[in-house]
Amino acid sequence: MNTSDIQPFRIDIPQADLDDLHARLARTRWPDDLPDVGWSYGVPVGYLKKLAEYWRTTYDWREWEEKLNELPQFTTEIDGQNIHFLHVRSPEPDATPLLLTHGWPGSIVEFMNIIGPLTDPASHGGDAADAFHVIAPSIPGFGFSGPTKEVGWDIPRVARAWKTLMSRLGYERYGTQGGDTGSVVSPEVGRIDPERVIGVHVNGGLGIPYGDPTEFAGLSAAEQERLDRLQWQMQDGAGYAIIQSTRPQTLGVGLADSPAGQLAWIVEKFKEWTDPAHDLPEDAVSLDQLLTNISVYWFTGTATSSARLYKEGAGSWGQKTERSEVPSGVAVFPTDFGVRSIAERDHNVVHWSEFTRGGHFAAMEAPDLLIDDVRTFFRGLR
């Protein structure tokens, strides 16, 4: 096969893998639990048992596999790595190509609620002029693009692969959008392909403060609160990132062997990062969509290879980046850390929105708000 070939792809998890998942969940060896500590020590065992039982006995993977397969999927080889991607073309011939990038612990499953309105706005109460062709790859090491087979798949390399992918698909002008890891990859694509990237939209924020006191002058109360939350995250909520950036292989042994472990590892992030107005992850997002996202990690065995992205990129954390003049837009949701003055340091921010509903997983939590913000940002750039 020529390395530039693009092949159709269809998800088809063997029944033996489903049976194995259910058997492992039934045999879970649960740890002990402390009384009256809530989530302060991690995921409560009683809560996790209920989720695991639902995953084993009620959740229907085949139903969601069929939903995913309704979206056109493909694979291609780029830089020696298999790349899986959704490519959903709009019925509008003049639609703008939009490259969506997920993060960790996400996947292309995050985008299931926004692809229809983005590609076919006229059928979803919108304006046909706002239509996009959506390209949503799985990051190397994640899901059906995994696992990676060599070291070196850091953010810049992912961005270069995305540039190659868009060229291979024949797109000469396109926008980028992403949250979490996608909010780092998407601007990087703009940096390396500024002649073709018409705009970069992210949810979550752009840029992390370097510690220069002048960066904190004149912040609003809301911005100061976001920085305080970032400080808390670095002190109390960054354990997952530290282990994934230092010993992902050790962690991966447990996650690859225990679906309950994989469930706990991801569900905790959905508890901490979703809209704080909700008590539990399933109050903020669809439980079945969340379990579909987790199931993709489980069935593809990519807990370890996805975690390696943290190891590959750890050396660049907190380092200054080259300024990008590509027009940038930011949507800030509750639990996000976005501060406009910090974002403007390295990015040409021309659009800024702040919302009181939703959270870190905006495409799952508040798809209506995210869709509208993406449309608004790109409307003046097409």
**Residues 6 or more apart from 34 whose CB is under 8 A from it?**
41
Helix (H) or strand (E) holding 64: helix 61-69
Q: Which of 310, 336, 351, 373 is catalytic?
A: 310
User: CA-CA distance, 26 to 260, in Å (whole number)?
Assistant: 10
Sheet holding 132-137, edge to edge: 6-9, 73-78, 81-88, 132-137, 96-101, 174-179, 197-203, 324-332, 347-354
User: CA-CA distance, 160 to 166, in Å (whole number)?
Assistant: 10
User: CA-CA distance, 300 to 146, in Å (whole number)?
Assistant: 7
Q: Does 212 participate in catalysis according to the annotation?
A: no
User: CA-CA distance, 73 to 189, in Å (whole number)?
Assistant: 22
Q: Report the SS3 class of residue 279.
A: coil
User: CA-CA distance, 166 to 164, in Å (whole number)?
Assistant: 6
Q: Does 201 participate in catalysis according to the annotation?
A: no
Structure tokens at 150: 């060599």
Structure tokens at 116: 């229809």
Structure tokens at 52: 């695991």
Q: Report the SS3 class of residue 197.
A: strand
Nearest Cα residue to 206 out of 93, 76, 345, 306: 345
Structure tokens at 336: 């996000």
Nearest Cα residue to 18 out of 299, 289, 267, 254: 299
Query: Do 188 and 316 form a contact (C-beta atoms < 8 A)?
Result: no
Q: Which of 120, 130, 154, 180 is catalytic?
A: 180
Structure tokens at 31: 């740890």
Active site residues: 180, 310, 360
